[in-house]
Chains A and B, each alone.
Chain A
Amino acid sequence: DTAVSQTPKYLVTQMGNDKSIKCEQNLGHDTMYWYKQDSKKFLKIMFSYNNKELIINETVPNRFSPKSPDKAHLNLHINSLELGDSAVYFCASSSSGQGSGYTFGSGTRLTVV
């Protein structure tokens, strides 16, 4: 049973479209995250939710909107997709507090053409 699952695994879409990525965790963690990994493998945090409350909101275009219906789910909706949005998006979860580390999903490779 996958601990952190993301769907879809691959997403190819045209510029200007709107798309969503879904994430679910069955670990009972309180906190979930979205990270973006670019073509050079650099990982940058985008958002974090703790028990459905937004706690980290980095400098991300407002075309990106996260939603957490409950603490086990965190979705990412992207409006008006641009070429520069092409990347691998990772969902992760952790227990609250420092030092426990993250459990990552397997990623969603988004390609905007």
Chain B
Amino acid sequence: AQSVTQLGSHVSVSEGALVLLRCNYSSSVPPYLFWYVQYPNQGLQLLLKYTSAATLVKGINGFEAEFKKSETSFHLTKPSAHMSDAAEYFCAVSDPDSGGYQKVTFGTGTKLQVIP
């Protein structure tokens, strides 16, 4: 079964600093990978996704992620943090063995705190 591991349940950065949220995946076949963001008391919103096209994926709000097969990683980055980026971030993987349908497994989440 596919899985993702998010390193660090809490990450704090200063406003304007680099944001780096780590995600490693486990998959026996090329996976589909996603990053979602959840603001307080809201649902999850898709930030970006990797579907085996370009390894560097650009998403909304200035975020991007790079798929590195050799490291089984899909880390999320943003060059300069804004206060509005404070939220919970989830890495996720789609299980290709789910009979042709999407079955997405989520990581445990990383709470990003942005310090003024």
Q: How many residues on the A side are at the interface (Cβ–Cβ under 8 A)?
A: 26
Determine, out of A11-19, A43-51, A61-69, A79-87, the stretch whose residues face the partner at the interface. A43-51
> CB < 8 Å: which of B42, B88, B94, B108 contacts A99?
B94
Name B110's closest neighbour in chain A (CB-CB): A41
- A101–B103 Cα gap in the complex (Å)? 10
The interface residues of chain B lying within 8 Å CB-to-CB of A50 are 101
- Render B25-41 as a binary contact track against A, CB cut-off 8 A, 1 for contact: 00000001010101001
In the complex, the answer to whether B44 meets A104 with C-beta atoms within 8 Å is yes
Q: How many A-B residue contacts, CB cutoff 8 Å? A: 67
In the complex, the answer to whether B101 meets A101 with C-beta atoms within 8 Å is no
B116 interfacial by beta-carbon distance below 8 Å: no
B67 interfacial by beta-carbon distance below 8 Å: no
The interface residues of chain A lying within 8 Å CB-to-CB of B51 are 98-99
In the complex, the answer to whether B49 meets A98 with C-beta atoms within 8 Å is no
In the complex, the answer to whether A98 meets B44 with C-beta atoms within 8 Å is no
B102 interfacial by beta-carbon distance below 8 Å: yes
The interface residues of chain B lying within 8 Å CB-to-CB of A43 are 44, 90, 106
In the complex, the answer to whether B43 meets A107 with C-beta atoms within 8 Å is yes
A75 interfacial by beta-carbon distance below 8 Å: no
In the complex, the answer to whether A94 meets B102 with C-beta atoms within 8 Å is yes
**In the assembled complex, how far is the CB of residue B9 from the closest CB belonging to chain A, in whole angstroms?**
9
Known: A55-B101, A106-B42, A107-B41. 20 other contacts (CB 8 A): A31-B102, A40-B108, A42-B106, A43-B44, A43-B90, A43-B106, A56-B101, A90-B43, A96-B101, A97-B100, A97-B102, A98-B32, A98-B51, A99-B102, A101-B34, A101-B46, A102-B46, A103-B46, A104-B36, A106-B41
7 contacts between A and B (CB under 8 A): A31-B102, A41-B109, A42-B109, A97-B100, A100-B102, A101-B49, A102-B44
